Amino acid sequence: MYSRVMSASVFGINAFPVEVEAHLENQLPGISIVGLPDSAVRESRERVVAAIKNSGFPFPLKKITINLAPADIRKEGSAFDLPIAIGILKAVGIIETDLDNTLILGELALDGTLRPVHGILSIAIEAAKSGFKRMLLPAENAAEAALSPEIEVIPIQSLAQAIRYLNADETIVPYTVDLQTLFSHNEHSAIDLADVKGQENVKRAMEIAAAGGHNIIMIGPPGSGKTMLAKRIPSILPPLTLQEALETTKIHSVTGLLSSGQALVTIRPFRAPHHTISDAALVGGGMGIVRAGEISMAHHGVLFMDELPEFARNVLEVLRQPLEDKKITVSRTKMTVEFPANFMLVCSMNPCPCGHFGNSLQQCSCTPQQIQRYMAKISGPLLDRIDIHCEVPSVKYQDLADSRSGESSASVRERVVKARYKQEKRFAERQGIFKNADMSSRDIRTFCILDKNGSELVKMAMTKLGFSARAFDRILKVARTIADLADSESILTPHISEAIQYRNLDRQYWNA
């Protein structure tokens, strides 16, 4: 007796179809699963047996062989429980329906009810591309799968209900979602930029960073408000587009970050890993199964690294390639997995070990050698990839005592959204470019044309301040964003001048 049921698994953030073959023969009873299953898949034997019996179906006392094809790719997770159970019941004749155009997945509880699984959106998109007409899956995953409108989503509560549906003994209405309704539930941040007293120059730098998606580092003494400011950056970022939301949701679904009942990620991610994080946890990796790291979970959002010099040197250096390529490729002996990593890097740090170098309100107790060693923890190539360097001075008493509120996040966000809209129109025909920070060298030559005065100003800055070629490109990108905020089609001299001011760490006195 033989049957074949189609399911799917996830590799990286993408999915691939898996054939679940069941073969029954008259030998000593038992179940064996082949096809490179991981521990969770092998343990499905016990769950499937209990679920079939507790659902009221007879379990065949035969030798059962389950093959997961293709057999050369490792299978992980508990989503094969339901297709294995249905494959066994189909092989003994309890199910007679043709299942060639049906993709089935779900984790079984011992009583036969279904539990949600990860990676549903990726699987639904791949199923539609592969020509499947419908999906049987846990009801809690239905909203997420329905984001792919090309496939019919059948929400299932239990194994018994799945059998009744497949045998046409019960009718289940396919699940649908309204994307506009999901986007209308976009929640705004509870924290507001108006809560921050003073620091108007830093707020301006944050607005530019948010408008163009630029990386930013804030340097200042303890208590100056660096962390408070960084946590308010999401409140001024523009809302996710549908394409960005789907990409972000795929990553969060695969890594299990979607909350119960959540179908779509509608707000930009904000990830703030602790400085004890490992390099594999930051960029992705792992033994056997490769997982996405923090930089991928911050895709289309913000990665905040507080107290940057406290991170291990090898952890910081692995950021260099993703900051350039907007993706990370994790290579192992038997596999290579690519994860997207188009994130906005926000960093904060003290200027010296005691934190008071350059502080007019308190004397620094560090020696020049200590300051230099502290700054050297952040390598030049990494700093070169950060577009905006911003000094955060100590807040004066007059600012703290001022009862007036600063400009709200809503007002700043309105200007940021207008600037992003200009960029969307500008890059409409450019694949994979959403904002100014994504521009390549060729795009910079096309969209960042300077007049004679602007060219002379950049030339003088390159000569006197020793900027690198990468810093030159970053200055032009930031200047393009400043021009967008000013609603200017051309990059003018004041825009270039302001962009140059945001390269503090390239200047010689920081290394003095």
Residue 83 is part of a domain; what is its CATH number?
3.30.230.10
Please indicate, yes or no, whether residues 12 and 105 belong to a single structural domain of this protein: yes
22-41 residue pLDDT tens: 999 999 889 999 998 988 89
400-423 residue pLDDT tens: 777 777 789 999 999 999 999 999
348-393 residue pLDDT tens: 999 889 888 877 778 888 888 898 888 888 888 898 899 999 999 8
Of the ranges 6-20, 287-301, 333-347, the best mean pLDDT one: 6-20
Q: Domain range holding 105? A: 2-177
Task: Please check whether residue 182 lies inside any domain of the structure.
Answer: no
Tell me, what CATH number does 407's domain have? 3.40.50.300
159-206 residue pLDDT tens: 999 999 999 999 999 999 877 777 665 555 678 888 888 888 999 999
Please indicate, yes or no, whether residues 332 and 370 belong to a single structural domain of this protein: yes
Task: Please check whether residue 379 lies inside any domain of the structure.
Answer: yes
Residue 80, token pair as written in the block: 């094969």
Please indicate, yes or no, whether residues 339 and 260 belong to a single structural domain of this protein: yes
Query: What is the C-alpha to C-alpha distance for residues 89 and 48, in angstroms, rounded to an integer?
Result: 11
Task: Please check whether residue 31 lies inside any domain of the structure.
Answer: yes
Q: Which residues contact 474 (CB under 8 A, 6 or more apart)?
A: 214, 384, 385, 387, 503
Give the pLDDT of residue 401.
Answer: 73
Does an H or E element contain 198, and which?
Answer: none
Strands 336-340 and 327-331: antiparallel
Q: Which residues contact 103 (CB under 8 A, 6 or more apart)?
A: 6, 7, 8, 17, 123, 127, 132, 134, 135, 136, 151
Give the pLDDT of residue 507.
Answer: 55
Task: Please check whether residue 326 lies inside any domain of the structure.
Answer: yes
Give the pLDDT of residue 188.
Answer: 59
Please indicate, yes or no, whether residues 274 and 312 belong to a single structural domain of this protein: yes
Task: Please check whether residue 446 lies inside any domain of the structure.
Answer: no
Task: Please check whether residue 242 lies inside any domain of the structure.
Answer: yes
How many domains would you assign to the chain? 2
Contact predicate 328/339, CB 8 Å: yes
463-480 residue pLDDT tens: 887 788 888 899 999 999
Answer with the one of 395, 430, 465 that is the final residue of a domain.
Answer: 430
Task: Please check whether residue 471 lies inside any domain of the structure.
Answer: no
Please indicate, yes or no, whether residues 11 and 131 belong to a single structural domain of this protein: yes
Please indicate, yes or no, whether residues 267 and 335 belong to a single structural domain of this protein: yes
Give the pLDDT of residue 333.
Answer: 67
Please indicate, yes or no, whether residues 200 and 320 belong to a single structural domain of this protein: yes
Task: Please check whether residue 349 lies inside any domain of the structure.
Answer: yes
